[in-house]
């Protein structure tokens, strides 16, 4: 399997709890490298565009409000099977259903405030990386 990249957001709930470093530690312990990163606050327009695939879902407005409620840490991760590997590190979307030892189990609160986001496929990862990073940001 070739080296792959995926995209991560440490969400406002985890950032507020001083959890950026804890999530990065899990990423690195999981065999992935952080190859770019940025601390920022999403605008409402950015959050709506980033989560546009969910715009018909009943939780969309709440999700946008939550994702703009405080700063986030966006990053690009690299490693073997990075998309799948990071999803394993994160655990299930709903922290209540996530396996022990996963980021969402340990740092998430509920299905919305679930500590971190990871791309769901290599194609999505490429789009999500390009949403926040230019080619020249990536070593």
- Residues within the interface to ligand CMP (CB under 6 A): 54, 59, 63, 93, 111-112, 114, 117
Among residues 4 and 128, whose Cβ is nearest to ligand CMP?
128
Among residues 50 and 133, whose Cβ is nearest to ligand CMP?
50
Residue pair 76/7 in contact by the 8 Å Cβ criterion: yes
Q: State the Cα–Cα distance between residues 25 and 32, nearest whole angstrom.
A: 10
φ and ψ of 60, to 5 deg: -60, -50
Beta strands at 72-80 and 33-40: parallel, antiparallel or unpaired: antiparallel
Among residues 54 and 55, whose Cβ is nearest to ligand CMP?
54
Quote the least distance from Cβ 139 to ligand CMP, whole Å: 26
Helix, strand, coil shares of the chain as percentages rounded to 5? 45, 20, 35
Quote the least distance from Cβ 53 to ligand CMP, whole Å: 8
Residue pair 22/118 in contact by the 8 Å Cβ criterion: no
54 is annotated as an active-site residue: no
Active-site positions read 117
């Amino acid at each position: 399997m070739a080296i792959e990249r995926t995209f991560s957001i440490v969400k406002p709930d985890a950032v507020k709890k001083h959890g950026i470093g804890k999530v990065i530690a899990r990423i690195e312990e999981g065999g992935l490298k952080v190859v770019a990163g940025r601390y920022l606050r999403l605008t409402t327009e950015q959050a709506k565009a980033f989560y546009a695939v969910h715009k018909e879902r009943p939780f969309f407005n709440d999700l946008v409000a939550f994702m703009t409620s405080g700063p986030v840490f966006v990053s690009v991760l690299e490693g073997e099977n990075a998309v799948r590997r990071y999803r394993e590190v994160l655990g299930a979307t709903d922290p209540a259903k996530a396996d022990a030892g996963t980021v969402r189990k340990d740092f998430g609160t509920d299905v919305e405030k679930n500590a971190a986001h990871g791309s769901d496929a290599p194609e999505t990862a490429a789009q999500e990386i390009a949403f926040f990073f230019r080619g020249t940001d990536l070593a």
